[in-house]
Structure 1
Amino acid sequence: MIVRYASGSFDEKFSMVYFKMKHENCWSRITEKYDISIHTLKLLPYKDKNAIYGIFEIRVNNKHNLKEFLRSLNKESTIKNVTSLNLSELKRSVYIMDLYENYDGMIQGKLNDYNSIFYFDIVKGGLEEKYAVLPSENVKELKNDLQSLGDLYEFRAKYLKNFYDILAPYFTFSPIEMQIIVEAYNHGYYDIPRKTGIRELADSFGLSKSTVQEYIRSAEAKALSSIKLFKLMDELKEG
């Protein structure tokens, strides 16, 4: 097979969409009843089995609300199985849950049908706010399909001018930057209080203190490039 280089860029091939809606199924209804916020961490769709495996982050104010939420969740017809609930290490009020839910009739299923390559959401107060990146040619059809699932209050789309904004490029890091930033993390440079300093890192690599500082700053700037993505999401939401 011969792969030919196509001139141009991804500037108009992919679009980011933002939408806010009240879905007729599970998540909108259940967050309307309880003071709880849900964020999707990972989804694995199995269309042929009419199932989606999801890992979710849940923030809830008290354990009573959590128990009532889980009781209601287990009664939902769209939920196949709640497999686990673990206390997150991030905060006491944040939990991690994984479950299987239906593919058909779910927003996540629609996004998968339209080849979404990025997904971010917050569900609370009976409303689902979602961002996705998908081929620009699929945006109009996605909007039409979402309207069939519930009340679509907002929908905006924008060409993704820099495709790299939604990815985590590996080769932007030089080998030495990657080595130093990982070593710094492993030895507690980013702990509070800090367990190691620039001098110790410089000694372990046989480099000067200023050189190690430069590598760390460069690697940190690249690692924080995801801020561009959140800036783009905020701009799209505000219109």
Structure 2
Amino acid sequence: MRNINYYNLILLDLSYVHEVDWTANLTDFDWVYRVTQAGFDYSRGEVVEVATLRINRKDDLRQVFNSLRKHDIDIVYFMGINPGYPKYVKVIVKGNIDLSTRFLAQELGLLEVYAYYTNGVEHWGGFLAFNRESIDQFLKEVINYGKVINESLKALKIEDLIAANTSKLDVFLNSSEYRVLKYAFERGFFNIPRSISMDELSKELGLSKSTIDRYIRSSLSKILKAIIWREN
């Protein structure tokens, strides 16, 4: 397990031209592709995205689909949400995991908060990291596939994230995430210095350290998404 400091969270906000991906060459018209859900099929080496595409003209929609196919990205499903243009299209696509920005981030221990692509630029707002080393390594590797236009880092405190959403935690966390995060917070796991260790948490909750780690990571990512969506 990575050596994680849960009271030293960092949010990376990134604008990126992914030069080997389908997004980079679509710059001569306006479009927005907002990812609402993503996952990985490790057995097939694929990344799967559910997204909403906003497009202004039928010819532009054709160009987007052609670019997807040109880059060996399968369009599993698409459906127009509204009549006429500008049109919103719900799409599900599958692509090679090796060229995925989000897969690289996950392999380095970063948590994706949300992503949208527009006019040839990928906007990641962003990735939640538990140490600066993971971010530095990610930025070092991501330039092998494109160009970073802008990046910014923001330090976060766990108590601020939780305090901002205390009344709503049980709404957007599942029962296991809520129980573990609440217990860890109340027992002082996020205090400086810590009032309880991961080993002690594991014994008291009757869960493995890796399971507790997974629940905490997932919880923090959901909390941050809720804050960003509320602000926007």
Q: How does the TM-score come out when normalised to structure 1?
A: 0.61
Alpha-carbon distance, 1:33 to partner:
4.4
Alpha-carbon shift at residue 151 of structure 1 (Å): 0.9
- 1:97 maps to a residue whose letter is V
- Counterpart amino acid of residue 81 in structure 2: S
CA gap of 1:228–1:97, structure 2 versus 1, over 3 A, is same
Residue 63 (str. 1) matches residue 62 (str. 2): no
Partner amino acid for 2:6? F
Superposition CA RMSD, Å: 3.3
- Aligned partner (choices 155, 158, 168) of residue 154 of structure 2: 158
1:33 & 1:166 partners in 2: Cα distance? Answer: 41
Work out the CA distance in 1 between the residues paired with 2:154 and 2:229: 14
User: Secondary structure in 2 aligned to 1:26?
Assistant: coil
CA contact (8 A) 2:113 2:128 kept: yes
Q: Deviations over 1:154-192 (max 9, x none)?
A: 22222222344699621699xxxxxxxxxxxxxxxxxxx
Say whether the 8 Å CA contact 1:61–1:93 is kept in structure 2. yes
Structure-2-length-normalised TM-score? 0.63
Quote the residue 1:26 is aligned against. 21
Tell me the residue number matched to 1:208.
none
Counterpart CA distance in 1 for 2:165 and 2:137 is 22
Q: Secondary structure at the match of 2:105?
A: helix
Identity in percent: 12
**Shift in Å at residue 50 of structure 1?**
1.8
Distance 1:148 1:21 in 2: 12
Q: 1:35 to 1:105 in 2, by over 3 A?
A: same
Equivalent of 1:93, from 72, 87, 91? Answer: 87
**Structure 1 residue runs without a partner (length 5+):** 1-8, 174-224, 235-239
Structure 1 residue 115 displacement after superposition: 2.6
1:118 alignment partner AA = E
Mapped contact 1:114–1:134 kept (Cα < 8 A): no
Aligned ranges 1:156-235 → 2 under 5 Å: 156-161=152-157, 162-164=160-162, 169-170=169-170, 228-230=227-229
**Cα shift readout 1:197-225 (whole Å, capped 9, x = no counterpart):** xxxxxxxxxxxxxxxxxxxxxxxxxxxx9
Q: Distance in 2 between matches of 1:92 and 1:29?
A: 21
Equivalenced residue count is: 172
Contact kept in structure 1, 2:37 and 2:50, CA below 8 Å: yes
Q: State the 1:51 CA deviation.
A: 0.6
Alignment-derived partner of residue 141 in structure 1: 137
Q: Secondary structure of the residue that 1:98 maps to in structure 2?
A: strand
- 1:59-100 deviations in whole A, cap 9, x for unaligned? 0012221123212321223x1x21110123699621110011
Q: Distance in 2 between matches of 1:95 and 1:50?
A: 26
2:83 is the alignment partner of 1:84: no
Write the mapping of 1:6-17 to structure 2, written as runs, cut at 5 A. 10-12=6-8, 14-17=9-12
